[in-house]
Every structure is written in structure tokens, then in C-alpha cells.
Amino acid sequence: MLSVSLVAWGDDIRSLPAVEVFSSRYSLLGAADTANEGAVGQAQINTRVVSRTGEVLEVVPGLIVSQHSGEGKANQYFLRGVNLDHGIDFRLTLDGMPINQRSHAHGQGWADLNFLIPELISSIHYRKGPYYAAEGDFSSVGSANIFYADTLDRGIASIGIGQGGYYRTLLANAPKFHEGQLLYALELSHYDGPWINPDNYQKYNGTLRYSQGTNANGFNMTALAYSGQWNSTDQIPWNEYKQGLISRWGSMDTSSGATASRYSLSGEWRQSDADGTMKAQAYVIQNYLDLYSNFSYVANQQFNQRDSRVTSGLNLSRSWNMAGVGKEAVNTLGMQIQNDNVFNGLHTTERRVRSATVRSDHITQSSIGVYAENHVHWNDWLRTVSGVRGDFFRFKNLGLSHATNTDKIGDFIASPKLNVVFGPWYSTEYYYSVGSGFHSNDTRGVTAGPGFTGAAGRSQGLVRSFGHEIGIRTEIIDGLQSSLALFQLDNASEIVYVGDEGTTKDSGRRSRRVGWEFNNYYKASDWLTIDADVAFARARFRDAGGEGRFIEGAVEGVASLAAVVDHGGSYYGSAQFRYFGPRPLKEDNSVRSDGTRTVNGRVGYRIDKNTQLELVGFNLFGREDSAIDYYGDYNAASINGGAGPGRVFHPIEPRTFRLILISRY
């Protein structure tokens, strides 16, 4: 066990009380507010066997990260019985910068993680449910706060090659500069995949950060740059594949693909003393996406979604210790301001040549969130965390193609929270949590007018969620961290903007998820670590309507089992099993996906104390499962003269290997 010193409270793992670390996972006994909260460090992140950047988030127990298109596209996320699409209801941040993009051309909450460099991540702090006052928009199901390191123990030079045209190079270091550290990193990568029409994904990533001081007292300034372009092999029709009419690696439209970029400047300042802590974060982000897709498979029905935006914001928080209340008490006040200036559009195209504009909009979406939180250790066995946040949103849209979609609307929501923690007794704590949360809706849906054919009426600006759960966290067995949570999450309405159609969709129906999660992290010996997680959720509409009460794409059972072997000698390795359970693809449950099972692994050899060679393998048993499945209308006339509706799927990739040489200097 390694003891680490962290500051008190707050909304990131760097601001927790002094805790102990079992190998690479933080122990949050005595610090966590709920049974579902957790944190992992770089050592555990480094043991994950991932084929794409976004999969590092599968360190969050119960979270599935998948892909249905080209490598550069934002991932598809599933957690707690919710198909999170490309990010709605799962809040992601990097050092306080929001990753989810509001009112995005391809769907609300778009969260593209391709700009991340995993080797720079110092820790990930995850939470689930609407129980945390510091977490605002998109956090009803959960959140993951990602933190980059201010410095590196040693420089990193890495080069990897593999099947499917894979190569990746990384150069990173953090030399001393004046009175601080200057962290820099450059990543270049390419991947074709197994597809008949190669992805030809080319990615360029750069990071530059200057920092001084410590996590308690210090500051940093960071510049990030990302550029990517790729071809897309999207989902293909299941029936035609089973009849042998299309290859498993085939494409229905070889001109699909995209270009994307992200550039940001951000800064953080922290100050701590005997009275408490202060933190300020500011950021400016420029995002761009030019995406071409064809889900109907008709040659002249490809569509183009373009999104260009500048997001700016400011986060402020102040915590101070209170005397005379219980054994220990801390109050926190915080404010989060964000503005998105967005130009986006939906266009019909054929082989990336525009034929018409369906809609074009200039969106200005602004918000201010204020929260207060009170932590009290009343005695040795009882502590409470009570809080409330209020969020005001201003939705403004200028319909560039349809003037009647021009409007300005405001909305406000208040979200109370309460967590009660009992214990520890015999290294075991018990939790009860209850709280209200929300997500914002796409501005185009909130301001929808009759000028756009297909609009299903206006969506409400802010959609409320309500959850509660009970849980237990224990370390009664030496080396074993276990937690069990039983939860219920209600949504006032399953309302989304359907980016693939350019329309709003308001089910007008309440929904409920009920489920449980059981997570275990076991340091079995000096050389063996086992990580085992399993979760189940039942998702249903609470109101009648549609074709039934099942919620399309709602994940039910998920599980993962990982083992890491490292005795400190020349050889080391890890293996990881992942299970993504079946989902209903129609509301009447008449069509369901199959489950997906994969095993990935890694074997490494330390050439010397500074150099190591790794062989990484994916889908080691060569299973032919789906990465993701949908049900919808399509026209496969180009194959068999027929048309949908029917099941479509994107396959997981075949058995693939990569060889990586890593030098630390």
C-alpha cells in the first residue's frame, strides 16, 4: 500500500482527504460520498488493453464504450441501462473543460475523446447518478472527470505497429522550465482496420502545458490541438450479411467519412490554507466536425452534418472549514459558466457533393450553474453530504434556412441532493443517496417552429431526472475492495434530438431504470491483481404509447474480468474479458441484439530498466459478434432489390495484434 496526500473535498480526486492506494486504485473508504464513486490512477489505466482512445473509460465499472462507424467518430456509450448515444446523460470533463457538446449537429451531448493522450492521464474520478452538486448538465447517469498530469516521472518515446495498417508514435516529456514544469506531447497515428474500404484514419495530437506548484497550491496553463480525418464503414444490414450478399467488412456507401478538429486553451489556479481551498478554471475550445453518413443505403440519400463551435467557460469554487459543527465540517460554494456559439447544418449529399440544405442554424446556448454543498462528519460513524444546485439556460437560435425556427427561450431548474454515510465499522461503510438532476435539450428542438417540416413540436429546455440508491463499500478482506449499489433512476421524458434525421423526438413518456452493480478490485499478491465487475439494469417506459414499454438500445447485463500479472521481473502481462449483454432493438422487444464477448491481452518484456516491448492482442478468440446493433428503415436495393425495416449491425474487429516499443528517458 502507498499513502498519498490529497486536499480536502471538492469535485476532483486531487481534492480528497489523505487516503491509501492499493497498487493503482485509490481507496475511498472514509472519503467517498456514495457506493458508486471511484477513482483510478495512471498505473491502472496503463494496464487496460484498449484498441481506441475512448475505451480507457471502461475503467469505470459497468460502462461500455463501443463504435458503430469510422475510428475518428465519437464513441457510443452504455451505462446503467441507458443507451447514452454519443454522450447524453454521461458528463465528461478534462481538467474542468466540458467534453460533451451541446446542440451538436449529430446529436445532443456529443463527446469525442480522440483528442486525449492516455499516457498523460494522471487520474479519472467517476461518479454515477444525480447525487453530486458539482455535476451539472448531462450527469444524470454518471460523470467522469479526467485529469492530465502536470509532470512526468520520465520522458516517453513510443512506437507501435500492427495489423490493419496501424501505427502510432508518441513523444512526451516534462523538463523543468523557469520555476515550473513544461509538459509537451506529440502523437501521430494511422489505422485502416479490416474494412474493404479502409478507414485511413489519420490523427495528429499535440499537448503543451506549463505548471508551477502543487495540486494544493499552484497553477497550470494548457494548449491542446487535435486533427483527424477518416473514411467510415457504418453499420450494415443483418439479413443481407447472413445471406452472403455483403461481406462482414463491407460498406454500403464508400464515400462516408469525416474530418474533425479540436483546439483549446485552458488554465487552472488552486490555493489552499488552513481555512479551506479555492479553485478557478477557465477555457476556450474550438471544435469542428464535417461528417458524411448514409443509413438508408440509397445512393443519393447520403447526408452531411457540419458543426463549428467556440465554447468558453469559467468554473469557480471555494471551500472552507467550519468550526463547532460535528467533528469536521466543510462548506463549498461553486459557480460554472458556459457559452456555446455554434454554426451547424444538415445537408443532403451524394458522394460528398451537396445537393440541398435541410436546415442551417446559428445557435447561442448559454448557462450559469450555482451550487452549494455541505459535508459534515457528525461523529465517528455518521457523515452527511447535502447540496443543491440551480441552473439557468438561455437557448437562442437563428434559423439560417428557416426563419420561423428563430427564437430565444430561457429555462431554470433546481436540483437538491443528499448523501448519508454510516460507518466505517470493520472497514465497511453503508450509503443512502437521493437526488435530482437534468440534461439540456438541443436548442433546435427547444425553439422548433413550423418552418421545419418534420419537427414534432417543441422540446422542453431542461429535462429532470430523479434517482436514489443504497450501497455498501468494504475492505474487510485484506487487499480486496468491494462495493455493491442498488439504484433507481427516473427520467421525466425520454427526449432527444435525432441528429441522423435532423428532427426532434419527444416520446412524452416517463422512463425508469432499476438495477444493481457489484464491483471488486483484489490485490491477490505482490504479482497478481484481479478486477471483476458485473451490473444489471431493467429499463422500461412508465407510460403507455409507441409499440411497447421496452426502451430501444437499453443495455441490460454487462460484466468485465481483468487480471494483471507483474512480479517486477522481465516479463509481465494482462488479460481482459468484456461482456456486453443483449438489448431490445424495438419497443415491443420482438427484436433483440445478441450479447458480445471479447478477450484482449498483453504480454510485455522489459529489455532494460528504461525499455520495454509489448505484444497486444484484441479479440483473441476470434469471435464474430456485433460491436453494436440497431433496428430501422433502410433500402438495400443495391444488394438484393429489397428494403427494410430490419436489423443492422457493426461487427467487432477480427483477431488483431500490435507490437509496441516503449522507451522512458
Distance of alpha carbon 599 from alpha carbon 49, whole angstroms: 10
The answer to whether the CB of 17 falls within 8 A of the CB of 39 is no
Mean pLDDT computed over 562-567: 95
pLDDT at residue number 501: 58
- Measured distance CA(33)–CA(332) in Å, rounded: 15
Indicate the number of domains in the chain. 1
Least confident of 1-15, 79-93, 161-175: 1-15
Task: Provide mean pLDDT across the span 88-111.
Answer: 94
Quote the cell numbers at residue 549: 414499454
Please report which confidence band the pLDDT of residue 644 belongs to, taking 50, 70 and 90 as the band edges. Answer: confident
pLDDT at 4 over 50: no
Nearest CA to 146 among 209, 75, 96, 186? 96
In the predicted model, what is the mean pLDDT of residues 564-587? 95
Q: What pLDDT digit, counting tens, does each position of 258-278 carry?
A: 999 999 999 999 999 988 999
What percentage of the chain carries pLDDT values higher than 90? 78
The answer to whether residue 452 scores a pLDDT higher than 50 is no
Type of residue found at 484: L
In this predicted structure, the answer to whether residue 284 has a pLDDT above a threshold of 80 is yes
Q: What is the pLDDT of residue 277?
A: 94
Q: What is the pLDDT of residues 202-260, one digit of tens each?
A: 999 999 999 999 988 999 999 999 999 999 999 999 999 999 999 999 999 999 999 99
Distance CA 459, CA 562 (A): 42
Cβ pair 137, 368 in contact under 8 A: no
Identify the CATH number of the domain in which residue 345 sits. Answer: 2.40.170.20
pTM here is: 0.94
Q: What percent of the chain has pLDDT over 70?
A: 93
First to last CA, the chain: 26
Using alpha carbons, select from 187, 249, 148 the residue that is nearest to residue 654.
249
Strand partners, 401: none
**Which tens digit of pLDDT belongs to each residue from 592-615?**
999 999 999 999 999 999 999 999
* Spatial distance between the Cα atoms of 120 and 224, rounded to a whole number of angstroms: 12
CB 80 within 8 A of CB 141: yes
Report the DSSP beta bridge partners of residue 385. 375, 419
Give the pLDDT of residue 71. Answer: 92
Name the residue range of residue 319's domain. 2-664
**If you average pLDDT over every residue of the chain, what do you get?**
91
Output the pLDDT for position 299: 74
Residue 456's pLDDT is what? 55
The H or E element that residue 42 is part of is: helix 42-47
User: Above 90 in pLDDT, residue 493?
Assistant: no
Please name which of 35, 28, 36 lies closest in space to residue 9, comparing C-alpha atoms: 28
Nearest to 375 by CA among 659, 32, 24: 32
Q: Could you tell me the three cell numbers for 439?
A: 440534461
Task: Tell me the pLDDT band of 584, cut-offs 50, 70 and 90.
Answer: very high
Q: What's the whole-number mean pLDDT along residues 447-459? A: 62
Confidence class of residue 22 from pLDDT cuts 50, 70 and 90?
Answer: very low
Q: What pLDDT, on a 0 to 100 scale, did the predictor assign at position 454?
A: 43
Tell me what the mean pLDDT of segment 528-545 comes to: 94
- Per-residue pLDDT tens for 501-516? 555 566 778 999 999 9
Q: How many residues does the chain have?
A: 665
- Residue 459: predicted pLDDT: 82
Q: Band the pLDDT of 12: cuts 50, 70, 90.
A: low
CB 580 within 8 A of CB 595: yes
Checking if the pLDDT of 453 tops 80, the result is no
Residue 622, pLDDT > 80, answer: yes
Task: Please check the confidence at residue 193 and state whether its pLDDT lies above 90.
Answer: yes
In the predicted structure, residue 157 carries a pLDDT above the cut 50: yes
pLDDT band at 14 (very low <50, low <70, confident <90, very high): low
- Mean pLDDT across the stretch 523-531? 94
Tell me the C-alpha distance between 194 and 654, whole Å. Answer: 8
> Within a 13 Å sphere around the CA of 585, how many CA atoms are in the beta-carbon half?
19
Which residues 6+ apart lie within 8 Å of 594 measured at CB? 582, 625, 626, 629
| pLDDT band at 23; cut points 50, 70, 90 | very low
Provide DSSP, 130-154. Answer: S--TT--TT-SSEEEEEEE-S--SS
**Separation CA 58–CA 325 (nearest Å):** 39
Amino acid (one-letter) located at 283: Y
Name the maximum alpha-carbon separation found in the chain: 78
- Rounded to 5°, the CA angle 3-386-511 comes to 105
